[in-house]
Amino acid sequence: MRRCLFLLLLNVVVGFDESGFLHWFTSELREVCDAPLQFAGTVPTYLENATFVQTGPGRFSFGDTRFTHVMDGYSKINTVAFGRGAARYTSQFLRSKFLNESMAKGRIAPSMFVGSVVPPQHWGPAQALGPNDNNYIKMRQIGVQKLLLADTMISTAVEDNFVTFEHDIRSRLLSLSVPGVPWKDDLEPKADMCMLGTMAHGHEDPDTGIFTGAMGCFGMAGSYHVVFTIRPEAPTMRHPLAKISLPKGRSASYMHDFAATPRYIVLIAEPLFMDLPKVLEGAPLGRGGLRTTGDETLFQIVNREDGSVRTLSAPGFIFGHVVNAWEENASGDILIDLTWYAANNATTLGWFNRWQLEYLQEPGVRESWPRSKVMRYRLPANGSVTWELLFPEEKGRNDFETPKINEQYTGLKYCVSYFMQFHSDEYRDGGRNSTIISSSPMGAVGIAKRNLCTGEVMGWYQANEYPSEIQFVPDPSGTAEDDGVLLGIVFNAKANSSYFHILDARTMRMIAKADLPIKVPFLIHSSFFPAR
């Protein structure tokens, strides 16, 4: 065994029901280990001996204290391990130092959060000096080491079952607050603070297994970004590729993601910055710990061979995720597709504050919140950056996030993408939808499929059911870009339960479904680890 607009107005649109939306963000304290799953339908044989992993917040309060932001909950890991004709499900909380300290205190322990804790705790500097190892963004693997990664330079090593906590990997500077092992390199000067990390969405070379990440640092001589690589045989050692100084007076950017092509790593240095004095005063990130300005967004283009850097700029924006990036052979231009938000808005902070529970719980605020856009930026070999809105025929009604593609097309020109869609379309007729819905509630959550080459619009939506991010798994015998399946976990508010589903990625029809033994709250990113 392994260890283990107002809602009342919007509801007149036929077919939509978001009545259980807020229940998606409530705790599930039960844990299970290796629970057998019974699938109805056909599970593709190419999933055998593979593991699906998805992490996210599973608990939103402790004792008399509670979180006020969706993404501050206690990390919980969900796995579906496929065997030959069978599958098993595990869901367990990450036994981090943060969880252990909370258990010892009987309440939420000091740490850095996006939202406030209720009642107010007045932790001051203790917040920044807390364990801060509540990692839940995405499971990765470097060599044979499984790592649960986030947007900091604290990485959590877990055992081969993807669930059992082993230790944290962190800066030597954090040795007093975070137990574990230090990074075995000298990438961080002793006097500098390298708190920000683009790790969860780091890039893995499929041929060599080399992982590329980035971090943002605050130094005595100014702020800077570092791009580094980690080799599969030594997952605790970072090798510098480029150190990128920032213009005088500009801080390191918070970057959840970056772009990668065969020849380049592109940091998208958005005008979203950590306010260190505010953080040390105890301000949550969404309540003063982060700030956004009217500065430009910088594209820092790093040559993966020699580490040379060139920088281009565009009017400031904030982005959530990169859909894909590639190089255009004829021109040498780099194209980047990404989810886009307006900068210089202290209320929204791009995508951050949309997930404050006080905003989600108020229908008028929730429905009027700015929606994401999908934009394409062209970084020319010579000249100025240009950009365009993708899916313009949808007139800004779509609201896409957490993009997924066939990863065989990462860094290459592509056509097909999949998204979580808030304000979902109805997707009638087995996934096809000839008419884009003009007004559905934010809590109508679906899975969107878009083909940039053919204009195909497809998706999946079920009333009062809430799918988290999906994972595309290609069919090894397929020839088309969308030959494969989508794996994911859905909260069914009608039954206060959850299920695991498999969709045909070409038709968007469900081909298999298994009920899960416990409810699964809102999840963050999914990962798939094929049989080795």
Check whether 201 is labelled as a binding-site residue: yes
Check whether 23 is labelled as a binding-site residue: no
Q: Which two tokens stand for residue 109?
A: 């322990």
HEC assignment per residue over 25-57: HCCCCCCEEEEEECCEECCCHHHCCCEEEEEEE
Distance, CA of 220 to CA of 270 (rounded, Å) = 22
Check whether 239 is labelled as a binding-site residue: no
Q: How many residues does the chain have?
A: 532
Distance, CA of 319 to CA of 470 (rounded, Å) = 20
Report the DSSP beta bridge partners of residue 93.
76
Map residue 76 onto helix, strand or coil: strand
Instruction: List Cα–Cα distances, 414 to 259, 301, 450, in angstroms.
Output: 14, 21, 11
User: CB under 8 Å to 437, separation ≥6 — which residues?
Assistant: 13, 397, 423, 424, 425, 426
Nearest to 409 by CA among 260, 517, 510, 295: 260
Nearest to 496 by CA among 526, 523, 520, 468: 520
Check whether 122 is labelled as a binding-site residue: no
User: CB under 8 Å to 268, separation ≥6 — which residues?
Assistant: 255, 257, 258, 259, 297, 298, 299, 319, 322, 336, 338
Q: Which two tokens stand for residue 308?
A: 């040379």
Interior/surface letters 468-495, b for 16+ CB within 10 angstroms, e for the rest: bbbbbbbbeeeeebbebbbbbbbbbbee
Start-end of H helices in 46-175: 97-105
Which residues participate in the annotated binding site? 201, 256, 321, 525
Q: Which residues are annotated as a binding site for Fe cation?
A: 201, 256, 321, 525
